[in-house]
Amino acid sequence: MRNRTCLVLGAWMLVALNGCADVDVDDNSEQVGVAEQAVTAGRELRLRMILAGQLEEGADEIFLTARQRGSSSMNIIRPPGDPDYWRFDTPGSSLTMNQHVGTIVANGENLLVHVMEQDDPPIFPNADLGEMIVFLDGAHTPHFVDTSTVQYKGINENGWHHLRFHVGAIYHVYFSVGAYQL
Ligand SMILES: [Ca+2]
Ligand SMILES: [Ca+2]
């Protein structure tokens, strides 16, 4: 009976549950609910400060993107209102903010964050200043991975994590990590 249920429901279960889980029909809605909850359980990453080290071209128009590895769903992080980017004209200048970036999920999957300098795509593509990788270990402690494009510089006096993005420019970007949330 269970195998037949899997055949009938196989198509959508592959999408909803990433496989034919060993569950009875009556449990399906609950199982989907658990799957959704698992996606959001984790710690919130928030953007707190951007400091320009070396400009990309001058009058830099900075925004961020964030997504879970393997997901096509992307958060775009921009200031509210107009202009919808953080502008930097001078090396050494900084701006503070407090904005949601994404959730570092509990299952250890990587959250990928890019700092972007806006141009005029598709003719003049936006410049990608680096990819930050962060994940939670089994104790829900965040780990920032050094990559060829982003360097982890530690925690500052505010408790913010300091990352140095350094592709074609240098930007120091500071993030806070919230308490673990189910
Ligand atoms: Ca540019
Ligand atoms: Ca630009």
Q: 162, 48, 156: which is closest to 101 by C-alpha?
A: 48
pLDDT at residue 141 is higher than 50:
yes
108 and 170, same domain (yes or no): yes
149 and 132, same domain (yes or no): yes
81 and 169, same domain (yes or no): yes
**Predicted local confidence at residue 36, as pLDDT:** 46
Residue 101 C-alpha to ligand 2 middle, in angstroms? 21
Residue 118 C-alpha to ligand 2 middle, in angstroms? 4
109 and 26, same domain (yes or no): no
Residue 165 C-alpha to ligand 1 middle, in angstroms? 15
* Per-residue model confidence as pLDDT tens digits over 11-36: 333 333 343 334 344 444 444 444 44
* Per-residue model confidence as pLDDT tens digits over 85-99: 999 999 999 999 999
Residues, CB-to-ion distance under 5 Å, ligand 2? 61, 119
At 89, the amino acid letter reads: D
At 129, the amino acid letter reads: L
- What is the total count of domains within the chain? 2
Looking only at Cα atoms, what is the longest distance across the chain? 68
101 and 121, same domain (yes or no): yes
Average pLDDT, the chain: 85
Owning domain of residue 23: 2-40
Residue 50 C-alpha to ligand 1 middle, in angstroms? 17
14 and 51, same domain (yes or no): no
**Predicted local confidence at residue 40, as pLDDT:** 74
Residue 119 C-alpha to ligand 1 middle, in angstroms? 5
Other C-beta atoms lying within 10 Å of the C-beta of residue 42: 26
17 and 95, same domain (yes or no): no
Going by the DSSP 8-state scheme, the letter that residue 141 receives in this structure is -
* pTM score above 0.75: yes
Q: 132, 90, 103: which is closest to 115 by C-alpha?
A: 132
* Per-residue model confidence as pLDDT tens digits over 47-64: 999 999 999 999 999 999
